[in-house]
Structure 1
């Protein structure tokens, strides 16, 4: 007879025991996803699954059994996905649960799984939208990427990190999410796509751990210390042992300490410049200086970095470029480099919302925002529903170009989401996460990358989750990637002890991590120089008129950290100095810049850099676009702007209200324009006597004549102004870079490279030595200076081309690069050719059209301003020339070359090329390339245009601003609207006079041509733009533009001559001059539509 102790446990009893035990393991306090549980053994999980399956099968479909054991059901069901998923899930579940494969399994087990997740308080991932993934989607999400799919995740992370050095987990997940949304990660297993697209903070956390794992394993480690389940480590080690490289780019090294590679970043100065882009420091730069070419919409400017140690090869400091107005993106390329070409998204037209943390670092919107204070920037047309009045901490003023936008500081503690009134939302992290409480950074020192420097490690605040809360792991990784400290903690006191155990000689960039349940990681990179002190006497430097008050700096650091100098003297002309600190042979360069007074000038089109000497503003520019003068006093004050002229003191200007304790005071210069018109020259000071001058306003004329004599540039009538500068351009070699010459007492010494090279174009301006202005690629206003000769050194083809422009050679047999030919052709009418202009034009044009493919490819690489490209293609006739597709993957995509690249078939290139193209054109281009233009009617005129035409340009711009219309992607809706607006603005100008009169007739001719050719697609494109009642005059110009573009591209692809094209090229050139964006848009649209249509017709 059996005894009670001999009785076997029934399956139902075992499930109750497992439920009681496993329920605590799946507590939402202890885990984020089910995959985090590594305590439950595989044997116990599979045993429980078989018993659960057997009982469910005996009770039959519709049984509620699975809901009686939520922890057991969720854990065992997820383990099947984790360990056994291989492209299919339900067959694997049925096999391991011992149940038949019938339709009831998915319904019963799937609905119970969702129900049980809610019972356990775990995320249900209701937003997973994949077809057929209603149940399997959440199951696979909780697996945190099945083991079968881990190699795909590792390779995707590795490849992207190699392509984008300095890539953060947040940026990687944002990129992958968008690619998955577009179904453009087809080579990646579906569970990986799904996890990255919908995983939010869980995906970011897991990717952060995966990055660390790949770094450790690629360095030869096992990854045992990385807080991931063992299967992650096993998969990574297996890939490495099979010969796969998992490494990502390391930081720069050499004489200086390694730092993590930096990416260009959008940042915010809430009390000064507003939004700006920080371009990265460049290691080992010649002379310690580089020049960035930065583009916004159709405009480009050259932005130099400051040389902190001239004459040395050194890392350049970061370059901060103000974003003057809302734009879709900025591009930046390093002049002279074909490698570093950056694209920085700014405003997403589908979600016009920018969020920054308190330090001004942009926060991604793909994952829930962390709690705490954030800056929110949004347009008035998309008002923000403030969570509660007490959550609005302050508002800040924006630069004039951001008129129509609001900048507000919000406290997100206790807030569930940010919502715009149009219904768009951004979630706020629901679960409490650890926080770093940062010490005050040094106000007077930063790294070469512009990062703050801290003398101490931050305090850590752990969420209060009760006695059953999770364990946390705290780690500190130094600049070499070595783990300095890694310990488990359960309280903030433990964290303090961890920091106390760290070395006292931390010097360089460190990476701090606090890890707990998935989705609750806190991570922070910062630069620490322990014990660093920088004392300045005086603590704040005042402007003197000649610079700043001199200062003496005293520097020190903790024992064991060497400082290159303990005492620095800054004279009136020195704003900052570089010092180095080190604990070994490698040095960390620091930029030391004590607090000081500064002044800058902001307009809707330009955000000037801060200067420490009085600005020089041009009278004509201030009268045309006054803007605001921003004075940073460095301390709370009550400044008043005093205006002085030839008659002494004239008026005062009070600042606008400041916010949030800001020391930036803004003075609206529109208040002085009447005085300026009367006086023409003013001095703006912060005192009535004029001793503290912050700006001079002077007429722009800085000389009477300029001549060359004995290798000297002589400027007659030039005033003795500090910073007077002559920028010289070679008229016989317009493709070469300008040279900047200082002018002293009306004379500038010409370098040998400018002597005897033919006439010069000279632009004169006053340069602020503390804030160098970008050097234009070509001058808008310049003085012609005669000089004999031409270029006599450099590449042979450039010397020949220069001699041709000087009238001393012919281009017969020219076989050199075509990029300089394009530049010369573009600037032809500014080269002083006189009677030779037309013959030179014909010869250059003949050279370019002789090899249309080669010359169009060269146009894609030439330094031509974007708005000039369509006119050049129309002038040469290449806009309708047959071309063969060219492989130009090596050419970075920019606003300036998207048109020639499109003509050359770039849209048939690889994913990265198409991505770059859509970065310029907008995602709608993918639809157009597929044969459908969903915005075909946008850009045409109707009765609304008649109303707008009666308004002044100022009133029209006010309407567009109120409507929130900003240039976005080239083919996006707002860009087309603004392109059509350019027709309104230019309709009475000389360039459109002939076309305005003949537009009705020309559109009729185009229609007849298309109908005769059977090109219904072209007729439909014109119909979409047709004015409903008055299809003639200026109202027909947008219709003619798209029709002419379609005709040109049909002629090119069919390799035929169309009379409507031949007769219309002159009008197209004129339209390209007056409305270049309209023509560019229409030519890109036409090429994509015609290419798709012909491809379809040619298909069998």
Structure 2
């Protein structure tokens, strides 16, 4: 206990006190991360502050105050951060500090002196200096205080509120949410906001520990050991609970300690699928199948995960969705749940993606570990750092990521890394090592039903020790039950813990365990490991190779340690089977496991398609072969595969040498396939000729007829896996019926389909290893038609009547509640029945225009983005005003900005800087939208114009044009960014001489002439945006098409405000605008959004005038 100190003490007494405290605190500081971790009695803190203030006053007078800072750096650092942690209430830090040291009449020079002394102390003790903060001195002081005691109440309440909305919330998810929008933390005091936004790993760790603290309080568990939080966090939480300042009943359904669930995450497969979204396993999935909706930059994809075996559990395993090309954002939701995750993929301002050595994305708000990491970035930028980076490996990316680089680099010794771009930020590299859970190699070919690896030996814990450090280790069963081990270790050298962690656990050990190691804040580790102690597996053959029917037959045998059983111990695998389930038990525990022998696999890369691995020879279509980019082959244990051989009629006609790790360019075989139409792709390996794929013409049947309870294919070329997708013309909103085709070419029909009217049939040879992605409606070139009388019976009267309307049995119902079905009819009318299409579109559009919920229901129809804008224009709803704005409409900006612009139009003119709606608009559209809504001119008004340069390109060949455009936009930018507009106009440029383009070009001059009448309305001034898109010398022909786009959009949005002249023009030019939206949907959509922003602001100005 330090000596007592009083304000009237002499300098010698002050110095003695500080000497005593310095000798105690100095050796402790290198073993912590934040100064607030050092537990200091409040009375001692006050006395130390008084002593520093007493001596400072004396030394300032003599001009020797610097010696104070150099003699007692630990006292300076601890008292300043302690004052911030305990005394802060609001405003800035300095008044609290002057009060703590009893110093009056402080000047700016005093603050600079103390602030620099604090930074010097951080440097001496190798503590984080948080140089990324804008406030040079106050920023680091407050960051080292963590979250001040005064701010903890609001912070705890925020955690509870977020946990109530998401019972499985974890620290990473909360931090990603909090940093996703500037205004999401506005309910917290500024120091708490700063710590969460800029605290990186330290913020994640504090949030994680506080979530555990609240979980234990919710469960009535007052054993708070092992959390590693400062005592003031516990005391304040318990005080708030006693005073009813925290409602611990908020996390509904948590039932105590919340079990954290895996979330969708971004990862990279450096030698396979590239950038991918990892979709976590799903327990209690119906029939073992989980259906995910993954929307990437507005394009919706359905991803299924299902167990490929029957029995023991209904868990759907983890799966992945490869991202075919650079994208900005993805939204992921699981059918049957209300929660939606959002993953930001590429940031146009800082397009550097960092992945850990095992491929997991390292969040932007975290520091980078001083280890080997994967870096993904545009090829036209350079990596920069404060050291010379050492490249460990080069990754291979799918074709859609051309123009990007994937490299693995070693970051030992680096303090920051970034890109050679003045806008790009420097990512800090944190120098301290974190503890590790050491597992050894997982058991080959064995996993849990969730896809997690299985480890046959007990995990150990490795504790680093750059200085003497205390670590807290907690091990709990994955079920969330109480700890099986909880202990503290103070180490002065790196230490590995193993047997002592498991001494009290009955052996052999079976099951999942969550291992948490906590030390200095920001250096914690949490990992879940599945252990089946002593389990082993043998496979015959060691690697299953490809065969014509799938994989070569195989066999597995598992062995267990004494005290553990496995049933069955031996499994036989047919060519169509990859895995079998076994059940392991110890008498105390029973767990299902999946045994999957190692096998060969192949993957096809196609333009604009997500690549997937498959475990049998691939089937390629001759007519679509030009879209295939490459074939990748992976054989476990083979690092240098041989050349791929192309056989025709059993004879070798071409060899394809691999590049990289077994990647074969099929572009080099295009001439061969064009000449021969059919071919076999084989790989000579280990004295065998392995079938890898085949190329065949697409026609699997020449026709189809209805035979009562089944369909019969004519001239059916039946193969294993031949499947029919049955689309109902009288109920196009329904998903297709997927029916395997019998060997005689017959397709058995379900009862509800056999009399449901005309059918469109798509034939596909399904891959047994990869679920097929069935389109919303088949393309005319790949479908068969079967005319059958009748209509779909429907699940209710409304669906029955709507189906009857499409079958011609009755008129369109006057009332329709499922408006998404009408949108589907409008979108597919031309494909379903072309002669009746115009009438059906007009009927449905008329009904939609009378319904206030019409636009809001459009996303439910799941139309592709390029069809969404066509539907809006076609129905005339692009020219309507929606007055009932709802906050729930905000989130549509990231999924369907054109729909969102129309739904939120009534709120656009009155946005405040901190509004959620403005944040969503800025995130999707970029700063151009912010400028427009702020009353400024559109900064990219002329982007996308066809000028003299476009005329020069018009004289070049398609190949020359493509070469010029290849690298125009490698990085996806905001919807209204200049580059995005240019790319959108490129698609229109490609259509300029085709039929629809020629027709629009002939009418462009008339439309522009009429549209310029805007200048004589209350919306005058907006015509300049039409002029900005016009060719400098002419306003006719194809060069006027970009101007036509913004002209139609402005007319429509002014018409929505009731202007009769524009209403007439919108109706007059709607067919032209629809034709334009079909050939240039991206430009039409962004111009519609831009027009709404411009007109909304102008309408407000006109109303005010």
Whether the TM-score (by the shorter chain) exceeds 0.5 is yes
Residues 1:99 and 2:97 aligned together? no
1:115-154 equivalences in 2 (<5 Å): 115-129=120-134, 133-154=135-156
Determine the structure 1 residue equivalent to 2:698.
Answer: 700
Determine the structure 1 residue equivalent to 2:440.
Answer: 439
Residues 693, 258 of structure 1: CA spacing in aligned structure 2 closer, same or farther, 3 A cutoff?
A: farther
Q: Does the 8 A contact of 1:178 with 1:197 survive in 2? A: no
Number of residue pairs matched? Answer: 1072
Residues 1:110 and 2:108 aligned together? no
1:134-533 equivalences in 2 (<5 Å): 134-164=136-166, 166-179=168-181, 182-222=182-222, 223-241=224-242, 242=244, 244-245=247-248, 260-309=260-309, 314-335=314-335, 337=336, 339-385=338-384, 391-422=390-421, 424=424, 425-466=426-467, 469-481=468-480, 482-489=482-489, 490=491, 491-493=493-495, 495-501=497-503, 503=505, 504-533=507-536
Question: SS at the partner of 1:606?
Answer: coil
Structure 1 CA distance for aligned equivalents of residues 450 and 893 of structure 2: 25
Question: SS at the partner of 2:989?
Answer: helix
Determine the structure 2 residue equivalent to 1:675.
Answer: 672
Q: Does the 8 A contact of 2:275 with 2:322 survive in 1? A: yes
Residues 626, 471 of structure 1: CA spacing in aligned structure 2 closer, same or farther, 3 A cutoff?
A: closer
Residues 596, 647 of structure 1: CA spacing in aligned structure 2 closer, same or farther, 3 A cutoff?
A: closer
The offset of 1:788, in angstroms, is: 0.6
The offset of 1:683, in angstroms, is: 0.8
Question: SS at the partner of 1:343?
Answer: strand
Q: Does the 8 A contact of 1:177 with 1:198 survive in 2? A: no
Residues 840, 126 of structure 1: CA spacing in aligned structure 2 closer, same or farther, 3 A cutoff?
A: closer
Residues 432, 720 of structure 1: CA spacing in aligned structure 2 closer, same or farther, 3 A cutoff?
A: closer
1:584-983 equivalences in 2 (<5 Å): 588-636=591-639, 638-646=641-649, 648-658=651-661, 665-687=662-684, 691-744=689-742, 745-780=744-779, 781-832=782-833, 834=835, 836-851=836-851, 853-887=852-886, 889=888, 893=892, 897-905=896-904, 920-922=924-926, 925-932=929-936, 933-983=938-988
Structure 2 CA distance for aligned equivalents of residues 1017 and 871 of structure 1: 28
Structure 1 CA distance for aligned equivalents of residues 968 and 826 of structure 2: 40
Structure 2 CA distance for aligned equivalents of residues 691 and 121 of structure 1: 61
Question: SS at the partner of 1:692?
Answer: strand
Residues 1:987 and 2:992 aligned together? yes
The offset of 1:616, in angstroms, is: 0.8
The offset of 1:514, in angstroms, is: 2.8
Structure 2 CA distance for aligned equivalents of residues 350 and 312 of structure 1: 49
Residues 569, 918 of structure 1: CA spacing in aligned structure 2 closer, same or farther, 3 A cutoff?
A: farther
Structure 1 CA distance for aligned equivalents of residues 136 and 607 of structure 2: 50
The offset of 1:281, in angstroms, is: 2.2
Q: Does the 8 A contact of 2:543 with 2:636 survive in 1? A: no
- The match for 1:1018 among 1022, 1041, 1051 is 1022
The offset of 1:703, in angstroms, is: 0.8
Residues 454, 1022 of structure 1: CA spacing in aligned structure 2 closer, same or farther, 3 A cutoff?
A: farther
Question: SS at the partner of 1:965?
Answer: coil
Determine the structure 2 residue equivalent to 1:3.
Answer: none
Residues 600, 874 of structure 1: CA spacing in aligned structure 2 closer, same or farther, 3 A cutoff?
A: same
Structure 1 CA distance for aligned equivalents of residues 254 and 531 of structure 2: 17
Determine the structure 1 residue equivalent to 2:4.
Answer: none
TM-score by length of 2: 0.90
Cα deviation 1:495-524 (Å, max 9, x = unaligned)? 235335362454433332333222332333
Residues 1:1082 and 2:1087 aligned together? yes
Structure 2 CA distance for aligned equivalents of residues 890 and 558 of structure 1: 58
Question: SS at the partner of 1:261?
Answer: coil
Q: Does the 8 A contact of 1:176 with 1:193 survive in 2? A: no
Question: SS at the partner of 1:617?
Answer: strand
The offset of 1:345, in angstroms, is: 2.3
Q: Which runs of 5+ in 2 are unaligned?
A: 1-7
- The match for 1:572 among 565, 571, 575 is 575
Cα deviation 1:1012-1068 (Å, max 9, x = unaligned)? 114245234334434444454333222232232122112212464514323221221
Q: Does the 8 A contact of 2:893 with 2:900 survive in 1? A: no
Question: SS at the partner of 2:863?
Answer: coil
Determine the structure 1 residue equivalent to 2:50.
Answer: 50
Cα deviation 1:653-704 (Å, max 9, x = unaligned)? 221243xxxxxx1111122222111110001111399952110100111111
Residues 498, 639 of structure 1: CA spacing in aligned structure 2 closer, same or farther, 3 A cutoff?
A: same
Structure 1 CA distance for aligned equivalents of residues 1095 and 864 of structure 2: 26
The offset of 1:610, in angstroms, is: 1.8
Question: SS at the partner of 2:725?
Answer: strand
Q: Which runs of 5+ in 1 are unaligned?
A: 1-7, 659-664
The offset of 1:795, in angstroms, is: 1.8
Question: SS at the partner of 1:827?
Answer: helix
- The match for 1:552 among 540, 552, 555 is 555
Q: What is the root-mean-square deviation of aligned Cα atoms in Å?
A: 3.2
Q: Which moved more, 1:634-643 or 1:40-49?
A: 634-643
Structure 1 CA distance for aligned equivalents of residues 1031 and 672 of structure 2: 47
Structure 2 CA distance for aligned equivalents of residues 135 and 930 of structure 1: 34
Q: Which moved more, 1:17-26 or 1:361-370?
A: 17-26
Structure 1 CA distance for aligned equivalents of residues 78 and 395 of structure 2: 50
Cα deviation 1:121-172 (Å, max 9, x = unaligned)? 433333222xxx4433222111111001112222333334454565543443
Question: SS at the partner of 1:854?
Answer: coil
Structure 1 CA distance for aligned equivalents of residues 584 and 260 of structure 2: 18
Q: Does the 8 A contact of 1:293 with 1:333 survive in 2? A: yes
Question: SS at the partner of 1:359?
Answer: coil
Structure 1 CA distance for aligned equivalents of residues 220 and 959 of structure 2: 65
